[in-house]
Chains A and B, each alone.
Chain A
């Protein structure tokens, strides 16, 4: 058991270059701003489309579990909260 925990600890928390993480940040934020900017109108459309069209993969169901019941589609309000929280400027 202890060796499994040690292996998991090494798997997730072994020292890694901070520049790797920074490059991941630059790639993801850059791509999101340039190509995948989450438009509020599109999110609203997706949250209000016919429920029969919402057939999430099991992984998505697991990830959405904290937000509601198994396989439930997040409401427009629930999507709006993180969107709004993301554009609040960070205080220095």
Chain B
């Protein structure tokens, strides 16, 4: 999140929808003497994409690191379900999570969750390379982080906020859905 804030500070993030924009327009209007007739800020910019792309690739790197670390540390044992059951039980005992206690008694479900988590982490780059897949990956990510929070009390909410970087994909998906519905 902090890295993202630095990226946003170096980008034209305040050109629209900001107090800066209001102040700039008011001052420009005062200078020219025609308040309200100052040209509107541009709608698009070639400099508006790189911060969003960088955040998307940072998410890819973070998830890829997590996925590769799981495979490097646990190998294929990570997928047998008992590895995740151990972590569910440990965190459930530590934090008193009823969801964690329930999941700790479901090795088959834990196996499926392990496979799903590693598949998500290793293939998240597809959400960037194929924007049509991004909404599905974002929903998948929110569900995964939700399960992790309720079972293990590990908060990854910052990642969920950073999914806003995929807002363009959501807009296109929404427009596609509207076109199909019409």
Contact surface of A with B, Cβ cutoff 8 Å: 11-29, 31-32, 35-36, 38, 57-60, 62-63, 82, 92
B residues in contact with A63, CB < 8 Å: 3
Which residues of chain B in 1-30 are interfacial with respect to chain A, using CB atoms and an 8 Å cutoff?
1-6, 8, 11-18, 23
In the A-B complex, the 6 residue pairs with the closest CB atoms? A22-B17, A16-B49, A57-B65, A25-B13, A16-B48, A15-B44
Q: Which of B77-85, B89-97, B158-166 interfaces with chain A?
A: B158-166
What are 6 A-B interface contacts by the 8 Å CB criterion? A15-B49, A21-B12, A23-B164, A28-B161, A59-B58, A63-B3
Closest to A14 in B: B49
B residues in contact with A22, CB < 8 Å: 13-18
Pick from B5, B51, B52, B167: contact of A29, CB below 8 A: B5
Which residues of chain B in 32-77 are interfacial with respect to chain A, using CB atoms and an 8 Å cutoff?
41-55, 58, 61-62, 64-66, 68-69
In the bound complex, what is the Cα–Cα distance between A25 and B24 (angstroms)?
Answer: 18
Instruction: Say yes or no: A23 contacts B65, CB within 8 Å.
Output: no
Given contacts A13-B49, A18-B43, are A23 and B17 in contact (CB under 8 A)?
yes
Instruction: Say yes or no: A17 contacts B158, CB within 8 Å.
Output: no
Shortest beta-carbon distance, B173 to chain A, in Å?
14
Inter-chain pairs besides A12-B53, A16-B48, 18 sampled, C-beta below 8 Å: A12-B49, A15-B45, A17-B48, A20-B171, A21-B12, A21-B13, A21-B48, A21-B52, A22-B13, A24-B4, A26-B17, A27-B164, A28-B164, A29-B5, A31-B1, A31-B161, A58-B69, A62-B61
